[in-house]
Structures are given as C-alpha cells and as structure tokens.
Amino acid sequence: MTDPVELVWPTTLDDALRARTHRMVHAVSETGGAIGYLAPPSRAETDAWLDGVLADVRTGDAALALATSGDGSDEVLGCALWRRRAAVASYRHSAEIQQVMTHPAARGRGIGRRLVSALIDDVRAAGLELLLLGVRGNNHGAIALYEDLGFREWGRLPSGIAVGDERFDDVKMYLELGRPDGVAVHGSAAVGAGASSRRA
C-alpha cells in the first residue's frame, strides 16, 4: 500500500524541514528536472530561495505547499508555490505558479496534480482572478497535466529557455478563476486608460 501524502503550508521552516526540502530540490535538479537550476543547488542556495518565498508568504503575496510523507518521516516528496504578480498595481489581481516538482522516487503517485490543484484552490480563495505559469516546451507530460486542470496556452517564446548549449520553448499558460461583480472586461478594445486608436 502506498504511504499517504500530506500537504503542509508553512510560513516558517525549521532547520530539519529546510534540510528535507533541500534534499528533494537537489534530487530533482540532479536528475534533470526543469526547475530553474543549471546544476544541483547547494543548501545555501535553497535556503536563500526559501527565505524569499516565505517572506512573500508572510505578506499574503505567496503560498508554499509541501507534499510530505505521512509515514512519520515527514520526508518532503514535492513542492509548488504561487506568487502574486505584485511588481505594479495593475497586475496584483493575478498570480504565477512556480517551482512545481516531485522527488524522483515519488513520481507516478499524483503528487504534482495534487499540489497544483491545491494551489488553484488557494489562489481562488485569496480572491485573485488569473493564474499563470510557464513550462518548458519539451515537458509534454506537465503541459498535459496543466491542460487537464483547465490551463490554456497563451503564448510561446521559441528558444526562450537556455540550458547550457540547448534551447527550449518557453510555454506560457493561464487559468481564469473568475472576477468580482462589476468588473468591466475590455480585452483589446481601444477604451479606458492607456488606450489609443489604430492607425489607418
């Protein structure tokens, strides 16, 4: 029987949980996981990443979900997070899913699906309207998972991701979560702030 998996949503991490998270991130990177590292990260690198994420969690601009084993070892089997697109006010109604990963030894157990589904629910509960993500073009399994969860491709930057001497498409996807009553959707119509008419 497969051990149960529990999701935890930390706002702080003690040293033991940081170490377990580092082991998972290192293992994913070591086996070629497309999580942004060109080489397996050091503990200092994963600690710095976690510090940045958790700072955003504590301001309400992010959430980190860790999938842990329910067998008493609390081993970290996967993680994923969302971050609000908070650089400017006009993007604060949206968030981006980042760093979705599952330990190589735990793949095939539906952990990635569970993590992303939980993030979708959490972002919706936070009152945001739009959820974005980026995925490497050669990761067809992840793309299929995201499509199954309702995401749709909105753009693709050819050769937008560099891994050494290799180039991969950067695929951008989105999921609409709903809007508050009274929100006017103008799309690309030449109305509202910043509008201009087409040139003849």
Interval 135-160 mean pLDDT: 96
- 79, 66 contact by CB (below 8 A): yes
pLDDT band at 71 (very low <50, low <70, confident <90, very high): confident
- Taking 60 as the threshold, does the pLDDT of residue 165 lie above it? yes
pLDDT band at 64 (very low <50, low <70, confident <90, very high): very high
- Domain spans of the chain, in order of start: 5-132
**Model pLDDT, residue 194:** 78
pLDDT band at 1 (very low <50, low <70, confident <90, very high): very low
Mean predicted lDDT score pLDDT of the chain: 92
One of 3.40.710.10, 3.30.830.10, 3.40.630.30, 3.50.50.60 is the CATH number of 5-132, namely 3.40.630.30
DSSP track, 24-58: HHHHHHHTT--SS-SSPPPHHHHHHHHHHHHHHHH
Interval 35-46 mean pLDDT: 90
Alpha-carbon gap, residue 148 to 100, rounded angstroms: 16
Name the token pair of 7.
């999701």
Name the token pair of 169.
């498409």
pLDDT band at 191 (very low <50, low <70, confident <90, very high): confident
**Model pLDDT, residue 198:** 82
Alpha-carbon gap, residue 25 to 93, rounded angstroms: 29
